[in-house]
Structure 1
Amino acid sequence: MPNASHPAFNAYRNGTSAALQWLVQQQQWREQAASLLQRRMARDRVALEATLESLRGAQSWSDFGAASQTVWRDYLVASAALWQENTAATVQATGVWANAARDAMQQWQDTLAGLQPGAVAATGQVGAVQPMREWMAAFERAMSAASGAFDAPTHAQGGQHGR
């Protein structure tokens, strides 16, 4: 027996799928953030241990100053590497999120097309159409506003107050 298409269920399935995909991506982001935090703590621990060792081994202020410079250089190199990794992960996560949002919007639009008045007459299911359209319109407005906030800075020279 073939599966019959149910537009209202398809709309629910697409929305739930998009929400679950978003949650998976959020979990991956949290795991990356936790890993980065662990590496930052390890960097700090190494720097503290190296400072302590340089203090123990120093015979004069000059010895301690030279050893401290090495510790700081290593600390700054490690910090720059962590910063670069974090920036790359942020750019990647932004692209993944944008692609997921685009795909979800396309799926919802395709589902809504099946719920259009002509399709409703064929299926007899009208209940899910109007709330979904209103929600989609609100979501599209929010996405447009959010993407516009990143496109043009509004804070330049008091622009946020209409001056």
Structure 2
Amino acid sequence: MTTAHAHGPRMNLWKHAPDVYKGMAAFEAAASKGLDPVLAELVKIRASQLNKCAFCLDMHFSDARGLGVSQLRLDLLDAWEEAPGLYTDKEQAALALTEAITRLDGGTPQGHYVPDEVYERAAEHFDEAELAHLIAQIVSINAWNRFQVATRAVPESLKGDGPR
């Protein structure tokens, strides 16, 4: 049974498709190998911001705080290009790639590609294996976002007593 309530979950997809969850979890684990955990969380948060996934934002803000990421870096992540010195060159390259892969509009009428300059910027900071894992990490969080948004997953922080 599904629910159409605008502010509640529609379904527990993982209950009805546990094999999909297992596959996604395996993909996520493989994608994150060799990536700096802080950088991976920044990427997950940025993609989740673009995709408006409250469930994933709640989870990854918490995970990032657990890794010691400052509140200022989290607060300004949505405007990372306007926060000079707050993110490393490597993080900025990863965030630019995250935005390009998540949006896939290319900024031109032809669209649907990651611009060469964005890819090349990332390639300056990541070796090929790291870059492959970074791309996989970005694809993974986009998939998680889409599952959670489609099913209207309720953020853990909002379960129980309501907003805090």
TM-score, normalised by the number of residues in structure 1: 0.23
TM-score, normalised by the number of residues in structure 2: 0.23
More helix by share: 1
Structure with higher Rg: it is: 1
